Amino acid sequence: MKFDTPAGTNPIDQLKVIGKPTDRIDGPLKTTGRAPYAYERHDVAPNAAYGYVVGAAIAKGRIKSMDLRDAKAAPGVLAIVTAENAGKLGKGSMNTAKLLGGPDIEHYHQAVAVVVAETFEQARAAAQLVRVDYVRAQGRFDLAEEAKRAPLDGENSGEGSAAPPIDRTGNFEGAFKAAPVTLDATYTTPDHSHAMMEPHATIAAWDGEKVTLWTSNQMIAWGKNEVAKTLGISKENVRLDSPYVGGGFGGKLFLRADALMAALGARAAGRPVKVTLQRPLIANNTTHRPATIQRIRLGATPDGRLTAIAHESTSGDLPGGGPETAVSQTRLLYAGENRLTAMRLAVLDLPEGNAMRAPGEAPGMMALEVAMDEMAEKLGMDPVEFRIVNDTQVDPEKPERKYSQRQLNECLRIGAERFGWARRNPKSGQVRNGRWLVGMGVAAGFRNNLLMKSAARVRLDGRGVVTVETDMTDIGTGSYTILAQTAAEMMGVPLDRVVVRLGDSDMPVSAGSGGQWGANNSTAGVYAACVKLREQVAVKLGFNSADAAFADGEVRSGNRHAKLADAAKGSELVAEDSIEYGDLGKKYQQSTFAGHFVEAAVDSFTGEIRVRRMLAVCAAGRILNPKSARSQVIGGMTMGLGAALMEELAVDKRFGFFVNHDLAGYEVPVHADIPHQEVIFLDEVDPVSSPMKAKGVGELGICGVGGAVANAIYNATGVRVRDYPITLDKHLARLPAIA
């Protein structure tokens, strides 16, 4: 189905199933332990051996020699695979470094061997006996130092955020110099780890020349292609199966070492092999969100109109990698005639930097939205009103290109009213509650809406059961449920008459899960397949498909009606189609918006920070399932709080690795850290987006939250911290006097 004109009225608009707060249909399986995750696929790969990955003990250099004799002689060992005996391997187009290192080492904990044994304990014990002699080379591990000589470098994250190396509109330098009120400030964000609950894990089994990977992966088609390219085999000989993923956040978008090492280990051992990356290797071996150094300059007239906006960011990555696109939202979010954005990329020998929830916008807005608050204070304006005054309904760089929908001002106004913003004291450090200093902060939220081709197959059997098949993944987001809701709405059946099968590369290729594009596009793909199935049903039952209505398990037209199941008596009906987009994405700027509000308290004696309440007001098209959408937003809000207050991969600048590479040392928010969270969705549909009239929302929840937390802390204390995370040591000495 080609979608090249805005959607008119269609069956989704009935909203009998779509739009209802629906429990996740996979919930009972997960809460009872019956949902099969990658490492637990004993049903499909019995008698699997265990692989244990050996990671490089240096960050840069080469392997001089490797002694495997003791490891091979250890109890239970079946095989050991290294770069020397793995055969010729390619490198996936989405991998910055090779997944199997040797003799050259590109980063710390790069996989250099996998030991396969009968039990996990035997594989782990034997792995400790692998003796590697390295020749260490000088590495570059300090972003601040390397930033001094970092060249300009543009990038498209592939997830909706993009910017050229340098981009100009108007004359920024002249406008900034002439502006009556200016701000020039630098902000830093650290490296972040995805810290997903389920580690990277894969079971691999070969059948002749064909390999099947039961793995934890967000993008099945991407993974299939990368496995084939890396192993040097035909795509037809690769199958990926990933029906349940225990969190990914972008860390499982691409092929990682667990999948490759399982495949190599299984081929060497001649039997299925299961591999999970130990937690330290996830931080140092897979991907992370890169640290940034961001400079923001704003110029405005006394009435608060921005006349000059500049946002420059520097980040680092391995050779061949790309920058964190932290300036992308600044090209679109606020009005202003004179604009400059620029990105620089430092070459670092740290582990690979890549996509993490809302790449670009998440760290970029942690800086931009604090700068907006600082500028509002200089102007003597309310921070909410300052943002509203600088609203734009068109792309500031291309004024002829309008937004398909843009209700940012409504998000801010409704949020301010609901949160009690009028009670905020605009003078910082003035509100006390016992020993606590209390403040409120606000930030805008912004994330682009991405359109991607997505296919599905739907079946109707003689019992009236509709089955949906697509390689779409459910990474904890509720894909099973919204796809079932879509099919139920389209075919006029209750939800319990729909079966959804996901995550198998033998199924039609979907958009996959990432960049908050999954829900809108994958449901649109199911919509397209259901349109075809409705046509088949109508023909089979003798109805005019244009007039036929599907409801309550029946097909109706005028005075006639027939049971839906009767269309599939004798043999099931099968329809397959995809949603393909025309140029609406080019004609209109498609984005999602939020207003984030935070109340924080700071202990005036100790500097301890406690966030007390949070509110997000979101405008993101039609909300397909308010219950699961809210879950996604509060998850994003939680990650945003973590980024603001605690998350930081500490870099050992001598040896080039992340020191706190487990969940004991890498702090993430726990239940006790999370206050009352409220989410409001505006009643909005966007006919330009898709037949579903929906957009993504999963990453909007994190965009801007860090800035709102920082602004609340400043309002509470009067101490501005521009270096994340905001820990008590950074403001304790500057807190207001206790008496």
Contacts for 547-552: CB closer than 8 Å, 24+ residues apart? 549/492, 550/11, 550/490, 550/491, 550/492, 551/16, 551/492, 552/492
d(C-alpha 136, C-alpha 123), whole Å: 27
d(C-alpha 283, C-alpha 666), whole Å: 10
Cβ contacts of residue 678 below 8 Å, gap of 6+?
418, 613, 614, 615, 616
d(C-alpha 370, C-alpha 354), whole Å: 24
Using H for helix, E for strand and C for coil, what is the string for 400-434? Answer: EEEECCCCHHHHHHHHHHHHCHHHCCCCCCCCEEC
d(C-alpha 451, C-alpha 522), whole Å: 10
- Helix, coil or strand: residue 39: helix
User: Before 725, cis peptide (omega within 30)?
Assistant: yes
d(C-alpha 211, C-alpha 206), whole Å: 4
- Catalytic residue positions? 699
Whether the CB-CB separation of 337 and 373 falls below 8 Å is answered with no
Cβ contacts of residue 376 below 8 Å, gap of 6+?
304, 382, 383, 385, 386
Produce one character per residue of 683-696: b if its CB has 16 or more CB atoms within 10 Å, e if not. Answer: ebbbbbbbbbbbbb
Question: What token pair was written down for 200?
Answer: 């990277």
Candidates 348, 372, 240; CA nearest to 296 is 372
Q: What is the CA radius of gyration of the chain?
A: 27
Question: What token pair was written down for 142?
Answer: 């300090």
Candidates 488, 493, 433, 500; CA nearest to 463 is 493
Taking phi over 0 as left and psi of -120 to 50 as alpha, with beta for the rest, 336 belongs to left
Question: What token pair was written down for 736?
Answer: 């207001």
- Helix, coil or strand: residue 292: strand
d(C-alpha 588, C-alpha 5), whole Å: 12
In this structure, what DSSP letter does residue 655 have? T
In this structure, what DSSP letter does residue 622 have? B
